A and B are shown apart, each in its own frame.
Chain A
Amino acid sequence: MSENKQENFFLTVDNIKVPIEGERNILEVIRKAKIEIPTLCYNSELSIHGGCRMCMVELEGRGLVASCSVPPVDGMVIRSNTKEVRGIRKTVLELVLANHHQNCYTCGKSTVCNLQQLAKDYGINNIRFKRREKESPIDVGLCITRDPDKCILCGQCIRMCSEIQSVGCIGFGFRSSDAEVLTAFNKNIDETECVGCGQCTQVCPTGALMNTSNIKDVWQYLNDPTKTVVVQIAPAVRTAIGEPFGFAPGEVTTDKMVTALKAMGFDYVFDTCFGADLTIMEEATEFVSRVKNGGTFPMVTSCCPGWVNFAESFYPDFEKNLSSCRSPQEMFSSVIKSYGPKMWGINRKDLKVISIMPCTAKKEEKDKDKFKIEGDPNTDFSITTQEFAQMIKECGIDFRNLADTPFDHPFGEKTGAGVIFGSSGGVAEAALRFIMDFDENPPAEHDFAFKAVRGMEGIKSAGIELNGQKFNIAVASGLANTRKLLNDVKAGKVSYDFIEIMACSGGCLNGGGQPTSKDRDYKLKRMAGIYKNDVDQKLHKSQQNPDIIKLYKDYLESPGSHEAHHKLHTHYEDKNLKKKYGVEK
C-alpha cells in the first residue's frame, strides 16, 4: 500500500485532523486520532471481510460507510459519532446478540469477550429482536473447543487459519441464515488437518473458539494426597501471565508464578527453560554431528508441535530434515518421569507432571502415544497461560502483590538461552550460542547475542562462519511464512543449513494459549520482555547450565548418547492429507 503514502495528506474525523500515512483504510487513520471505532470482523493483520457493519462512520458526500472497507483519501471529512452512526451500532449489536447464545456467566470468554465489551460500551440494555434458538453440539478437541452457538460469523478465525497459518481446516459452510463456521463435513476438529496452534482462538471475538480447558484435571491431581504433582512452566508464559492481573505485556513475573503454584499445592515447580537448555544440548549436537558425518540439510527445528503437525501433514518430504529432538516440554517431562521416582522414592504412577504452556498444540503433543510409557503419559496434562491465570483467580491469589519464590532443585537452574525459546529466533540464537563455542576463535563471554535472528519479521535469515565454513540460517514464524520459505527451499531458490520454525507469528510469546491482549503492540512488548530477561540471567549458554551438566553426568551420559536418544528424541509420521482422509488411489 506504499502508493498511498503521500506526504501532507490528511483527513478530518470529529474535527480532529489526522495525517494519512499509507493506512489501508480510514479505520486505521481514525484510530490514530485516539477514537476507537468498534469492529467485530476487522483485524489489522488479516484481509478485510467487511461483513459486520459495526464500523460504520459518516463520510461527507457519501453518507454511511464501513470504515474498514474505505481507503483514505486526502481531505475526507468523517463523523464517527452522529445519531445515525450510534443507532446503527446498536442495531448491529442487537441483531448479532439475537443470534447469539447469551449466557455470559457460564462462558469462558466472559470479561475478555469483545462482543460482551461492545454490548456494555454501547449501552445495550434491551434486544428488540427475537432470539434465534440454535443448538449445535460443542466440539471439544484436544487443543481447541468450538461452540458454534456463540459464533457471530465474523470470519476472523477462518482468515487466521488460512491466511496466516495456511492450514484452512475451517471455513464457511451453507448460506444465509444456515451459514456456519465448519470443518469439512462438520467433522470434529481433531479429525481434520488442524495443527492445534490455537491462533483462531486468539482472534475469535466471542467464546465460540477457546482453549480446551484441563483445569479440572489438574485440580484432581492437586487434591489427591497420594500424588506428587510436579509442574514445569514454559519460557513465554512469564512474559504474559501478568497481563490478566494488570501488568503490561512483557513485564516478566517469573518468581511470582512460582509462589502462586506453591500456594496451589504443587510439590515441585520447575522451569521449562531447563528443558529448553536440554533441547539445545541435543539439537545443536545433532547439527554438529550432521555437519561432521554428512546428514540431511537444512536441519529444521522440531520444538514446536504446531509446526511438527504441519510438517507431517503438508511437508512429509521434510521428515529427514526435522531434528529428531522432542520439544522442551516432552524432553523435560521424560526426564522427570524417568528419574523423578528414584530421586523422590515414589512410584511412577504416583508422579504427575503438569506443564504450563503458552501453547494449545502441546495438549495434543502430550497425548501422542510415542510420549507415553505403557499408556502413562510423560506429561499428564498441559494447560495454557490462560488456564493458569484462571486457576490463580479461582484461588483468590493476589498475583500482583505476591512475594518471589525461586524454582525447585534439582532442575532449578536455567540460562538465557532457554529463556529466549519463547521468541521467534530464540531457538536459532540459543543453538548458535552453543555451536559457536566450537569455533577456533569462540566469541567473548559477554558476546552472546545474535541479533540478526531477532525481531517480528515472518522470515529472517543470517549467516555465520564456523572454522572457516559458512552456514546459512533462516527463521520463520507463522505457517504461511513457513510454507513460503519451504517452497523456496524446495524450488532451490534459497539454500539454508539450519531453519528454525515456530507455528505462531512471533513465536510462543504469541502462542494460542496466551492471554488475549488489547494492546496493539503486545507482541513487541512481550518480545522485549524476553530478551531483557535473557540479559538478566547469570548465564546465557545452555552448555553452562550446572544442573544440565549434572543431569548428563548422573543420567544421560553425553548429548546424543544412546540414553539421551532413548529419552529425549523421537520420530515422525507421514500424515499427508490423501493418506489421512483415506483417498489414496
Chain B
Amino acid sequence: MSESVVDFDVIAKILQKHKNDPSKIIPILQDVQKEFRYLPKDALLYIATTLNIPPSKVYGVATFFSHFTLEPKGKNIIKICDGTACHVKKSGDIIKALKKRFLLKDKKVTSDDGFITVETVSCLGACGLAPVIVLNDEVHGDMTLDKVMKLMDDLEA
C-alpha cells in the first residue's frame, strides 16, 4: 500500500471527539468532510476498522446522503440548477457546454486538473431568475450560454 493522503491522527482526533461511538457515524463523517472537503477512501476505511463496523456500512452511509461526497472537489464549484423552471429555460444546454469545456464525461464532475467541479442541482428556489447557477456560493440568475462562458473565461483568466 502506498502512503495515504490522509493523516490518520486527524481522523483519530475526530473519532475521539465522538468517543469512538459507532452510532455517531453521521456527525463523524460530517467532521471529516469539513476537514478534507470530501470523504477520502482511506479515511472511511480507517473509521470503519477503528470503530469495528464493516467498511461496506460506512460506505453505505457515505453514499446514501447526497451532502457527502467521495470525490475531491475542484478549486471552484459551479452548480447549475436543473429544476423544472430552469430546465424549461434550457439549463441543459449550459450543463452540456460546461461538461464539454472541462472535458467531463458521464458521472465525472471534477476536471482532471482539479480546477472546477460542475454539479447539477434541483430547484434552488429562485425560479423567477431561471435559469440559475451558483458559482462559488454566488447566485447568478437569468443566465445564457454566453454569460456562463464569460464567467468561465474570467475564472480561468
Contact = CB atoms under 8 A, between A and B. Distances in A.
Given A174-B63, A578-B49, A583-B46, A167 B54 contact: yes
Nearest to A172: B60
Centre residue among B42, B58, B63, B64 by max chain A CB count within 10 A = B63
A495 interface: no
A585 B60 contact: no
A170 B56 CA distance: 6
A174 B56 CA distance: 11
Interface stretch (A28-36, A178-186, A384-392, A528-536): A178-186
Contacts of A581: 42, 45, 49, 55
B157 interface: no
Given A172-B60, A173-B60, A184 B8 contact: no
Nearest to B1: A582
Nearest to B44: A184
Given A173-B63, A174-B63, A578-B49, A583 B56 contact: no
A293 B104 CA distance: 67
A51 B111 CA distance: 39
B59 A583 contact: no
A192 B45 contact: no
A171 B57 CA distance: 6
B48 interface: yes
Contacts of B53: 168
Interface string A184-198: 110000001100000
Given A585-B8, A585-B9, A192 B56 contact: yes
A582 B4 contact: yes
A158 to B, nearest CB: 8
Contacts of A174: 63-64
B41 interface: yes
A578 B60 CA distance: 19
B42 A182 contact: no
A182 B60 contact: yes
A483 B55 CA distance: 18
Contacts of A577: 45, 48-49, 55
A288 interface: no
A169 interface: yes
A69 interface: no
B12 interface: yes
A174 to B, nearest CB: 5
Contacts of A185: 41, 44, 55, 59
B20 to A, nearest CB: 14
A183 B56 contact: yes
Interface size class of A (residues with CB under 8 A): 20 to 34
B58 A175 contact: no
Contacts of A175: 63-64
Contacts of A461: none
A99 interface: no
B154 to A, nearest CB: 35
How many residues of B sit at the interface, in one of the four size bands? 20 to 34
Contacts of A184: 44-45, 48, 54-56, 58-59
Task: Choose among A182, A184, A577 the residue with the greatest number of B CB atoms under 10 Å from its CB.
Answer: A184
Nearest to B41: A185
A171 B60 contact: yes
A296 interface: no
Nearest to B65: A175
Contacts of A583: 4, 8, 42, 45-46, 49
Contacts of A585: 8-9, 12
A162 interface: yes
Contacts of B42: 581-583
Interface string B48-74: 111001111111100110000000000
A168 B8 contact: no
Contacts of A192: 55-56
A170 B48 CA distance: 14
Contacts of B45: 184, 577, 581-583
Contact of B59 (A167, A171, A578, A582): A171
Contacts of B56: 168-171, 173, 182-184, 192
B47 to A, nearest CB: 9
B10 to A, nearest CB: 11
Contacts of A171: 54, 56-57, 59-60
Contacts of A193: 54-55
A174 B46 CA distance: 21
A59 to B, nearest CB: 32
Interface of B: 1-2, 4, 8-9, 12, 41-42, 44-46, 48-50, 53-60, 63-64
Given A583-B45, A583-B46, 17 more contacts: A167-B54, A168-B53, A168-B54, A171-B57, A171-B59, A173-B64, A174-B63, A182-B59, A182-B60, A183-B59, A185-B41, A185-B55, A577-B45, A577-B48, A581-B42, A581-B45, A585-B8
- Nearest 4 A/B pairs, CB to CB: A582-B1, A168-B54, A184-B55, A171-B56
21 contacts: A162-B54, A168-B57, A169-B54, A169-B55, A169-B56, A171-B56, A171-B57, A171-B59, A172-B64, A174-B63, A175-B63, A182-B56, A182-B59, A183-B59, A184-B44, A184-B45, A185-B59, A577-B45, A578-B46, A582-B42, A583-B45
